[in-house]
Amino acid sequence: MTKEIRDVTRDKKLWRTFFISPANNVCFYGECSYYCSTEHALCGKPDQIEGSLAAFLPDLALAKRKTWRNPWRRSYHKRKKAEWEVDPDYCEEVKQTPPYDSGTRLLDIMDMTIFDFLMGNMDRHHYETFEKFGNETFIIHLDNGRGFGKHSHDEMSILVPLVQCCRVRKSTHLRLQLLAKEEYKLSVLMAESMTRDRLNPILIQVHLDAMDRRLRLVLNALSECIDKEGYSYVVEDDLQGDLGADHIHSGPRRR
């Protein structure tokens, strides 16, 4: 934490959060919207700590990013619930709110929801996009540190956006169905993709098995949506090539 982070970082905001604890350990808490304080700091023993390394994005000077609040963020309050937790029709409100009222952003959120559910990440309170491309862009899937925690628990609240909106890309739906087949099993493909990693195995088998189990839950949720709303409403055909600007800006479907 000293020679590999504190002493080499060029991020002054991060550097200022380093301190020495009463137990004489090196600690830091970084900068974020929630829980970044001395009470929730990461501390070494005395300056050694295990962690994961994320791939670095382009410097902000080269590619500015825009931060968006996730419409389905949690309240992070013991007694206060978020609106989506008490209103089953919450998605209808989201679909009328920019940038979700046009383009592909709502479908991007659905993809991100599935991504988070498969790894059990409950902490998607914000997400980011590259500023230069405006709303014609994609979500950057960064900050997944809360993923792969409890392999034995499937946190169904993560899947609420998909259940409430009942919308998914056809390419995503087909890929999920493929990964549920025995010959293209998600857990096996994930394990194979990490075999050359120097830290292999990255995920122990129980986490891989959890992904297969959660994949079935996602497909079950989509099947219920299709039974209720119809295939043409739920599944957005994104495999027809260039659909043209009129289609891209048509906005989300209304019930």
Q: Give per-residue pLDDT as tens, 5-42.
A: 999 998 899 999 999 999 999 999 988 777 788 988 99
Tens-place pLDDT, residues 169-209 = 999 999 999 999 999 999 999 999 999 988 888 899 999 99
Token duo for residue 202: 């990255």
Between the CA of residue 14 and those of 5, 58, 120, what are the distances in Å?
Answer: 9, 18, 27
The 10 Å Cβ neighbour count of residue 61 is 6
**Whole-structure pTM over 0.95, yes or no?**
no
DSSP E strands: which ranges in 4-72? 19-20, 26-28, 42-43, 65-69
pLDDT attached to residue 241: 65
Alpha-carbon dihedral sign for residues 133, 254, 86, 156? negative
What average pLDDT is seen over the chain?
A: 90
pLDDT at 249: 42
Whether 101 sits among the annotated catalytic residues: the reply is no
Question: Which residue of the set 101, 123, 209, 242 is catalytic?
Answer: 123
Tens digits of per-residue pLDDT, 93-149?
999 999 999 999 999 999 999 999 999 999 899 999 999 988 888 999 888 888 999
